[in-house]
Structure 1
Amino acid sequence: MSEARERAVTGPPVRPRGWGRRHRVLLIAVVALLVSAVLLGIRPWESCGPGLRAVDADKDSVGSSYVCVGLNLDSGPVRDDDPLDPLEKLIKSRNEKAGDNFKTIVMLENLTPDPKVDSQPFPFIQREVQGAITAAWPKNGPPGIKLLLANYGSNADHWRVAAEEIVAAAAAQRIVAVTAVGNSSENSRALVAELSRHGIATIGATPTADNMNTDPKGVRIDNFFRVGPTNTDEARAAAGYIAAHGFKRVMMIQGVSKEDTYATTLAEAFQNSSKIPVIFTKTYDVKPFTDISREGYLRGLFSKWHNDICGARPDLIYFAGRGLDVGALVPALAGDGACEGLDTVTVMTGDDASTLAGNPLPLNGDISVRLRYTALAYPDQWDMFTADPAHPAYKKNYDNFVAEFTGTHGFPKAELWDGAAMIEHDAVAAAVEAAVQNVSADPVSVADVLRAIDCNSPVPGATGFVAFDQATGNQLDKALPILSIDPDGSVHPVDLVWSRGRPLNTKADCGR
Structure 2
Amino acid sequence: MSETRERAAAGPPVRPRGRARRHRALLIAVVVLLVAAALTAVRPWESCGAGLHAVDADKDSVGSSYVCVGLNLDSGPVRDDDPLAPMEELVKSRNEKVGENFKTVVVLENLAPDPKVDSQPFSFVRREVQGAIAAAWPKSGRPGIKLLLANYGSNADHWRVAADEIIAAAAAQRIVAVTAVGNSSENSRALVAELSQHGIATIGASPTADNMNTDPKGSRIDNFFRVGPTNTDEARVAAGYIATHGFQRVMMIQGVSKEDTYATTLAEAFRNSSKVPVLFTKTYEVKPLADTSREAYLRGLFSSWHNDICGAKPDLIYFAGRGLDLGALVAALAGDGACEGLDSVTVMTGDDASTLAGNSLELDKDISVRLRYTALAFPDQWDMFTADPAYPTYKKNHDNFIAEFTGTHGFPKGELWDGAAMIEHDAVAAAVEAAARNVSADPVSVANMVRSIDCNSAVPGATGFVAFDQDTGNQLDKALPILSIDRDGSVHPVDLVWSRGRPLNTAPDCGH
Change in Cα spacing, 1:288 to 1:46, as seen in structure 2 (3 Å) is: farther
Question: How far 1:275 sits from its partner (Å)?
Answer: 1.1
- Whose radius of gyration is greater, 1 or 2? 2
Structure 1: segments with no counterpart, 5+ residues:
1-41
Secondary structure of 2:146's aligned partner: strand
1:365 aligns with 2:365: yes
Question: How far 1:388 sits from its partner (Å)?
Answer: 1.7
Checking the alignment, whether the CA contact within 8 Å between 1:455 and 1:506 is kept in structure 2 is no
Counterpart residue number, 2:269: 269
Q: Deviation per CA, 1:365-408, whole angstroms, max 9, x where unpaired?
A: 10000000000000021000022211101000000000000000
Counterpart residue number, 1:302: 302
1:256 aligns with 2:225: no
Q: Which runs of 4+ in 1 moved over 2 A?
A: 42-46, 509-512
Q: Within 5 Å, give how 1:347-362 maps onto structure 2.
A: 347-362=347-362
1-side partners of 2:428 and 2:207: how far apart? 15
Counterpart residue number, 1:342: 342
1-side partners of 2:219 and 2:511: how far apart? 27
Counterpart residue number, 1:457: 457
The AA in structure 1 aligned to 2:482 is I
1-side partners of 2:365 and 2:334: how far apart? 5
Question: How far 1:501 sits from its partner (Å)?
Answer: 0.5
Checking the alignment, whether the CA contact within 8 Å between 2:127 and 2:420 is kept in structure 1 is yes
1-side partners of 2:282 and 2:127: how far apart? 34
Q: Within 5 Å, give how 1:190-229 maps onto structure 2.
A: 190-229=190-229
1:123 aligns with 2:123: yes
1-side partners of 2:100 and 2:326: how far apart? 48
Checking the alignment, whether the CA contact within 8 Å between 1:251 and 1:316 is kept in structure 2 is yes
Counterpart residue number, 1:10: none
1:469 aligns with 2:474: no
1-side partners of 2:138 and 2:45: how far apart? 39
The AA in structure 2 aligned to 1:272 is N
2-side partners of 1:43 and 1:291: how far apart? 28
Checking the alignment, whether the CA contact within 8 Å between 2:455 and 2:511 is kept in structure 1 is no
The AA in structure 2 aligned to 1:120 is Q
Counterpart residue number, 1:57: 57
The AA in structure 1 aligned to 2:429 is A
The AA in structure 1 aligned to 2:113 is P
2-side partners of 1:46 and 1:56: how far apart? 13
2-side partners of 1:387 and 1:449: how far apart? 34
2-side partners of 1:86 and 1:396: how far apart? 30
Question: How far 1:114 sits from its partner (Å)?
Answer: 0.1
Report how many residues are paired: 471
Counterpart residue number, 1:498: 498
Checking the alignment, whether the CA contact within 8 Å between 2:116 and 2:288 is kept in structure 1 is yes
2-side partners of 1:43 and 1:476: how far apart? 48
2-side partners of 1:511 and 1:435: how far apart? 22
Question: How far 1:98 sits from its partner (Å)?
Answer: 0.6
2-side partners of 1:215 and 1:388: how far apart? 39
Counterpart residue number, 1:416: 416
Checking the alignment, whether the CA contact within 8 Å between 2:469 and 2:511 is kept in structure 1 is no
Change in Cα spacing, 1:385 to 1:45, as seen in structure 2 (3 Å) is: closer
2-side partners of 1:455 and 1:320: how far apart? 31
Question: How far 1:507 sits from its partner (Å)?
Answer: 5.2
Percent identity between the two aligned chains = 87
- Taking only aligned residues, the RMSD between alpha carbons, in angstroms, comes to 1.1
Counterpart residue number, 2:94: 94
The AA in structure 2 aligned to 1:111 is L
1-side partners of 2:144 and 2:505: how far apart? 33
Secondary structure of 1:83's aligned partner: coil
1-side partners of 2:92 and 2:316: how far apart? 48
Q: Deviation per CA, 1:175-202, whole angstroms, max 9, x where unpaired?
A: 0000000000000000000000000000
Question: How far 1:511 sits from its partner (Å)?
Answer: 7.7
Secondary structure of 1:87's aligned partner: helix
Counterpart residue number, 2:182: 182
Counterpart residue number, 2:25: none
Secondary structure of 2:47's aligned partner: coil
Counterpart residue number, 2:376: 376
The AA in structure 1 aligned to 2:342 is L
Checking the alignment, whether the CA contact within 8 Å between 1:347 and 1:371 is kept in structure 2 is yes
Secondary structure of 2:405's aligned partner: helix
Checking the alignment, whether the CA contact within 8 Å between 1:43 and 1:56 is kept in structure 2 is no
TM-score by length of 1: 0.91
Secondary structure of 1:482's aligned partner: strand
The AA in structure 2 aligned to 1:71 is L
Checking the alignment, whether the CA contact within 8 Å between 1:107 and 1:179 is kept in structure 2 is yes
Q: Deviation per CA, 1:442-471, whole angstroms, max 9, x where unpaired?
A: 000000000110000000000000000000
Question: How far 1:43 sits from its partner (Å)?
Answer: 5.8
Checking the alignment, whether the CA contact within 8 Å between 1:103 and 1:435 is kept in structure 2 is yes
Question: How far 1:509 sits from its partner (Å)?
Answer: 2.5
Secondary structure of 2:508's aligned partner: helix
Secondary structure of 2:363's aligned partner: coil
Counterpart residue number, 1:37: none
Counterpart residue number, 1:39: none
Change in Cα spacing, 1:45 to 1:355, as seen in structure 2 (3 Å) is: closer
Secondary structure of 1:505's aligned partner: helix
Secondary structure of 1:161's aligned partner: helix
Checking the alignment, whether the CA contact within 8 Å between 1:175 and 1:443 is kept in structure 2 is yes
Q: Deviation per CA, 1:238-292, whole angstroms, max 9, x where unpaired?
A: 0000000000000000000000000000000000000111010000000000101
Question: How far 1:220 sits from its partner (Å)?
Answer: 0.1
Counterpart residue number, 2:108: 108
The AA in structure 2 aligned to 1:310 is C
Q: Within 5 Å, give how 1:323-342 maps onto structure 2.
A: 323-342=323-342
The AA in structure 2 aligned to 1:200 is I
TM-score by length of 2: 0.91
Secondary structure of 1:509's aligned partner: coil
Question: How far 1:44 sits from its partner (Å)?
Answer: 6.2
2-side partners of 1:43 and 1:179: how far apart? 31
Q: Within 5 Å, give how 1:383-422 maps onto structure 2.
A: 383-422=383-422
Question: How far 1:46 sits from its partner (Å)?
Answer: 3.8
Counterpart residue number, 1:7: none
Checking the alignment, whether the CA contact within 8 Å between 1:135 and 1:426 is kept in structure 2 is yes
Checking the alignment, whether the CA contact within 8 Å between 1:43 and 1:53 is kept in structure 2 is no
The AA in structure 2 aligned to 1:383 is D
Secondary structure of 2:169's aligned partner: helix
The AA in structure 1 aligned to 2:487 is P
1-side partners of 2:91 and 2:366: how far apart? 49
Question: How far 1:45 sits from its partner (Å)?
Answer: 3.9
Secondary structure of 1:229's aligned partner: coil
Question: How far 1:506 sits from its partner (Å)?
Answer: 5.4
Checking the alignment, whether the CA contact within 8 Å between 1:303 and 1:332 is kept in structure 2 is yes
Checking the alignment, whether the CA contact within 8 Å between 1:454 and 1:467 is kept in structure 2 is yes
The AA in structure 1 aligned to 2:137 is W
2-side partners of 1:45 and 1:203: how far apart? 30
Question: How far 1:505 sits from its partner (Å)?
Answer: 3.2
Q: Which moved more, 1:382-391 or 1:415-424?
A: 382-391
Q: Deviation per CA, 1:169-226, whole angstroms, max 9, x where unpaired?
A: 0000000000000000000000000000000000000000000000000000000000
Counterpart residue number, 1:146: 146
Question: How far 1:510 sits from its partner (Å)?
Answer: 2.2
1-side partners of 2:158 and 2:148: how far apart? 18
Checking the alignment, whether the CA contact within 8 Å between 1:69 and 1:152 is kept in structure 2 is yes
Counterpart residue number, 1:315: 315
Secondary structure of 1:301's aligned partner: helix
